[in-house]
Amino acid sequence: MDAAAFESLRTSQQEHWWFRGRRAVVRSLIANNVELSADAEILEAGCGYGGNLEMLSEFGRVQAFEYSEEARAYSDSTFSGNVAWGRLPDRIGFAEKSFDLIALLDVLEHIEDDRSALSALAGRLSPAGKIVLTVPALPWLWSEHDEMHHHFRRYTQSGLESRIREAGLVPSRIGYFNSLLFPLALAQRGLAKFGIGKGVDKETPDALLNGILTSVFSSEASLVNRMKLPIGLSLYAVLERKNASCHVS
């Protein structure tokens, strides 16, 4: 990821509508699809500047790893749990410990060998453990934003599911989200091709607009567990090992 783009995550991760909306959706997915005890062991793989760590702590004891030393140091200094250096697929760390929940939030698209990354994380799940992941959707939406953030790909739902199964995992739930704002994003990117507007949401908008966008995106937290959204800017999946019983929804 470009240094400036990555640094912007630190300043925007708490207030920007996209991060707040995604946290709301992920919180709902965990609460409704993952059975966790009060002392559940949780890992965030690729935590960046730590914007999700407090939310994940609502569900158990959280540890994390991050490849960027600057981001790792910042997260470790602002979070009470352990944030270690690590990378996927070969440096997960934590002494082969197993986890009841692994969060992989908009990380997989940054990894060239995504199948090996998923397989490595599958090997760190407890017997009933689950992975909750999010990725950018729809390859035809590829834009400057993806290049600036050093993405290797955007995913189709079928492509993501194939990669999941190749890694020895199965999705108990998979689908699109960030759907209600999809028409607006499509129009914004279309205008950007003609040099009108930024085309990508580089900065947090003014408070009123940011609040409106946050409310719209966050409202999907009550939808993703009740219905299949037809299309969206992102995909989510809740994964478990192949030998665990599951029903894809």
Q: What is the CATH number of the domain that holds 12?
A: 3.40.50.150
For the record, the structure tokens of 92 come out as 């997960």
Residue 219 Ramachandran class (φ > 0 left, ψ -120 to 50 alpha, else beta): alpha
Answer whether residue 247 is part of any domain: no
Could you say which residues of the chain have pLDDT below 70? 1-7, 190-202, 245-249
Q: Is residue 142 part of a domain?
A: yes
Q: Does residue 181 lie within any of the structural domains?
A: yes
Q: What is the tally of structural domains in the chain?
A: 1
Q: Is residue 148 part of a domain?
A: yes
pTM recorded for the entire structure? 0.92
Distance CA 136, CA 222 (A): 20
Q: Is 86 part of a structural domain of the chain?
A: yes
Whether 246 is covered by a domain: the verdict is no
pLDDT at residue 197, as a whole number: 56
Give the integer Cα–Cα distance in Å for 33 and 168: 19
* pLDDT attached to residue 51: 96
Q: Is 248 inside any structural domain?
A: no
Q: What is the pLDDT of residue 2?
A: 57
| Residue 55 belongs to domain spanning | 3-241
